[in-house]
A = this chain, B = another copy of it.
Amino acid sequence: MPRIPAAERRAALVQAALRVVATQGVAAATTRAIVAEAGMSLASFHYAFSSRDELMHELISFVVAHEEAAVLPGPYGDASLRDIIRAGLQRYADLLRADPLREQAMLELTQQALRSEGMEPLARLQYDHYYTLAAAALTTAAEHTGTSWILPVEEVARLLVVLTDGLTVSWLVDRDDAAAASVMDFAADALAGLGRQS
């Protein structure tokens, strides 16, 4: 292996760890599995990171920072608030169907953080990030439809995250697309009901 700056090596290991966690779960993300995925030797791992915990910490920070707002953005046209929300949820569902293991990995990493001494703040950061992304998307959607939220947008954002979280878990368990569609219909109706023409 050529000499690679430590920073690059760290990044490569984080990427490899994410792939291992997604395909095989957190429990299978041993240092050996990670370096194998990255095509490195075991010693290189500890040259870049002082411990496996340090990598997991950085991995969670990484996924938190790079989680995109995949839910609401999209071409709005002259769609209603309800339809914008429904379409956004559909985009998320499509993403989930396309890469279920990735979303499963996100859930596992959250729980891993909640169980690891000193990493709970990372889980909180992860969800704060979700709420922020959701609030931004909901604000844009409201603006495009000339509506305003009858609750603080932060509360609506939390509802959206709660609904997508629950949707994710239930779909991962039984992969029932029809049931998921029913949930999304309900969610779009209910959330749009929190908007008023202004």
Residues of A within 8 A of B (CB): 24-27, 104, 107-108, 110-111, 114-115, 123-124, 126-127, 151, 155, 158-159, 161-167, 169-170, 172-174, 179, 182-183, 186, 189-190, 193-194
Number of copies: 2
Question: Across the interface, do A182 and B170 meet the contact criterion of CB distance under 8 Å?
Answer: no
Q: How far is the CB of A191 from chain B (nearest CB, A)?
A: 9
Residues of B within 8 A of A158 (CB): 170, 179, 182-183
Residues of B within 8 A of A111 (CB): 25, 104, 107-108, 111
Q: How far is the CB of A194 from chain B (nearest CB, A)?
A: 8
Q: How far is the CB of A90 from chain B (nearest CB, A)?
A: 16
Question: Across the interface, do A155 and B173 meet the contact criterion of CB distance under 8 Å?
Answer: no
Tell which of B124, B151, B174 touches A127, judged by Cβ atoms closer than 8 Å. B174
Question: Across the interface, do A155 and B127 meet the contact criterion of CB distance under 8 Å?
Answer: no
- Complex Cα–Cα for A163 and B126 (A): 20
Residues of B within 8 A of A26 (CB): 27
Question: Across the interface, do B161 and A170 meet the contact criterion of CB distance under 8 Å?
Answer: yes
Tell which of B155, B173, B193 touches A123, judged by Cβ atoms closer than 8 Å. B173
Question: Across the interface, do A114 and B104 meet the contact criterion of CB distance under 8 Å?
Answer: yes
Question: Across the interface, do B25 and A115 meet the contact criterion of CB distance under 8 Å?
Answer: yes
Residues of B within 8 A of A161 (CB): 166, 170
